[in-house]
Structure 1
């Protein structure tokens, strides 16, 4: 009797929003006054939620990747900026640096011949990769397919460039108070809350567009229908 491999636990988007955005934002905006938690304790408690959720998610999924590591470090850096009362400019730089680093890694991966996009989107659990690659080889379209995937990888890198620029502008516009003050915590909470619809949703739309581009490339170069390209198992 053979045992089925354990499937990795899927992320719970609702919990991610609650612990990474909504709860920290509400604490920073509503409970950072001296009559409640205070500026320092408010910041610590607010940042404890995404850190705790990150640790919980790692324990549940048993996976830890580069992007998750950067997200974890980003939270710690935000706390450091607030606790050490650094200039708000450092927050804007940090907000831009994290997606910029990810974008650079994605871009470099394309030049190395192993585009990160291929690992992210050409997933064997989603696509019948053996059929796709065999059909591409039969039609002599392997080189063109690799070129198109590399183009999509550049587009993916550009989404992180957009995110870096948008993060910097948003931080400069919203967080203008000195770190260590109630106003700084409130503005940090507002920025965290606003960043989701202003940055995350447009980035998601761009990612969907890239995915559609990849799917159309597969169907055009292989002649397969979308349903045929999918993994039916």
Structure 2
């Protein structure tokens, strides 16, 4: 049975495009007002997250942090807290994920290994056999450990960039229409400035692991990957 996967386009629309448009265009008193614009804008990622949870019946640590992040953003705006807390919150969420990835290096289940070494995708028995035959198991384990460090560093990059972007763009007091507009602009810019570069770095890490795996096992792609 093929596993259902989330639609990346819908994720962008519900988590970035619609909330940003509402915050930037409908926060004026002649439209929704700052409070209702913020509430309605944040309801879209919350509703989409709930829909994904019900549909795929999956709820992981990263999803939980995303849910908490939306609630914290709403709380900062509705309680009219100092906007410095927004920058701290923006840095904290990816920072916590990066810390979790880093700590996983010292457990039996490093995140990179768990993500890549999936028996439904890879021929693990064949791979492990060839690693052992070529005396490369220890070298490949080191490769995975270093890749896990690099993977954690992508979240450190996100944490720093989120903080810088928030401090740069969101300068108006929370609870105002200007704050909402700046929040919407920050959300919109965070995708090309942070999410896409982070994704490129992650793909680079996975490509590095793939090249190392192929070199150490001397296997071809069709031997490494399971085919349906």
Is the shorter-chain TM-score for this pair beyond 0.5, marking a shared fold? yes
Q: 8 Å contact 1:78–1:91 — kept in the other structure?
A: yes
Q: Which moved more, 1:95-104 or 1:138-147?
A: 138-147
Match of 2:185 in 1: 190
Residues 162-208 of structure 1 show CA distances to partners (whole Å, capped at 9, x for unaligned) of 00000000000000010000000000000000000000110011011
Shift of 1:125: 2.7
Mapped to 1, the partners of 2:156 and 2:31 lie a distance apart of 38
Match of 2:164 in 1: 169
Are residue 213 (structure 1) and residue 208 (structure 2) matched? yes
User: Which secondary structure does the structure 2 equivalent of 1:111 belong to?
Assistant: coil
User: Which secondary structure does the structure 1 equivalent of 2:31 belong to?
Assistant: coil
**Unaligned segments of structure 1, at least 5 residues:** 1-5
Matches within 5 A, 1:1-233: 6-233=1-228
Shift of 1:94: 0.4
**Unaligned segments of structure 2, at least 5 residues:** none
User: Which secondary structure does the structure 1 equivalent of 2:150 belong to?
Assistant: helix
Mapped to 2, the partners of 1:142 and 1:99 lie a distance apart of 31
TM-score (norm 1): 0.96
Shift of 1:216: 0.7
Shift of 1:113: 3.4
Mapped to 2, the partners of 1:148 and 1:199 lie a distance apart of 26
TM-score (norm 2): 0.98
Shift of 1:212: 0.6
Mapped to 2, the partners of 1:142 and 1:169 lie a distance apart of 41
Mapped to 2, the partners of 1:215 and 1:20 lie a distance apart of 31
Task: Output the aligned Cα RMSD.
Answer: 0.9
Residues 56-105 of structure 1 show CA distances to partners (whole Å, capped at 9, x for unaligned) of 00011011110011011101110000010011110000000000000000
